[in-house]
Chain A
Amino acid sequence: EAGVAQSPRYKIIEKRQSVAFWCNPISGHATLYWYQQILGQGPKLLIQFQNNGVVDDSQLPKDRFSAERLKGVDSTLKIQPAKLEDSAVYLCASSWSRDPNYGYTFGSGTRLTVV
């Protein structure tokens, strides 16, 4: 079974530029999550989708971050304009149900550096 795919793997941009990340979850997984992980910290949930609807985006900085999952499959996360403090790894995860033997599966992440 293919895992959660993310691209790009790395991205370096200047502050005030825009950037987009892509995620393709495991086939059949209805729930998709975007997390931000700053170096040395645990992942912080940015947004959660159930199919193509937003379940929770309370921690998404909506003045600069946006995300969509139009067809309920893959998803994009955008930052516009980027700030220095946005430097982090952006992790995408997906889940099918609360299967205790499966958990939430994470992609390899996109490491963003804002200079």
Chain B
Amino acid sequence: GQNIDQPTEMTATEGAIVQINCTYQTSGFNGLFWYQQHAGEAPTFLSYNVLDGLEEKGRFSSFLSRSKGYSYLLLKELQMKDSASYLCAEEAGNMLTFGGGTRLMVKP
């Protein structure tokens, strides 16, 4: 199976910038998803990267390097409501495999 690694927990301050890294195995790779999941809720789609580079969507940006098997999610101007788990997921074929998730805590 796919081996997807991301930090277990991160803490950041309201208004700051945080980068959540993710590494994955490259065999059969199609694309890389980021999902946000608040406690007790379903994952919600944030971004999907296929090509190398940075894609920006408002306060959230996602970066992909296919050759390095590496991605990151960048969150700017952090708000308290950004406290959640962030799931990195690799798509290979038509299958989505998740990492363990990074629990982000935003403090005032």
Q: Which residues of A contact B (CB under 8 A)?
A: 31, 33, 35, 40-45, 48, 50, 55-56, 59, 91, 93, 95, 98, 100-109, 111
Contact = CB atoms under 8 A, between A and B. Distances in A.
Interface of B: 1, 4, 30-31, 33, 35, 40-45, 48, 50, 87, 89, 91, 94-101
A84 to B, nearest CB: 21
Given A102-B45, A104-B33, 9 more contacts: A31-B94, A40-B100, A40-B101, A41-B101, A42-B98, A42-B100, A48-B94, A56-B95, A105-B45
A107 B30 contact: no
Contact of A43 (B1, B30, B87): B87
A104 B96 contact: yes
16 contacts: A42-B87, A42-B98, A42-B100, A43-B87, A45-B96, A45-B97, A48-B94, A50-B94, A93-B96, A98-B91, A98-B94, A100-B31, A100-B50, A103-B35, A104-B96, A108-B41
B92 to A, nearest CB: 11
The 5 closest A-B pairs by CB, nearest first: A42-B98, A103-B45, A106-B42, A100-B48, A42-B100
B99 A42 contact: yes
A97 to B, nearest CB: 9
A85 to B, nearest CB: 17
Given A42-B87, A42-B99, A103 B42 contact: no
A30 to B, nearest CB: 10
A98 B30 contact: yes
A106 B43 contact: yes
Contact of B33 (A33, A50, A103, A111): A103
Contacts of A107: 42
A50 B93 CA distance: 13
A106 B4 CA distance: 20
A105 B96 CA distance: 12
Nearest to B48: A100
Contacts of B30: 98
B63 to A, nearest CB: 15
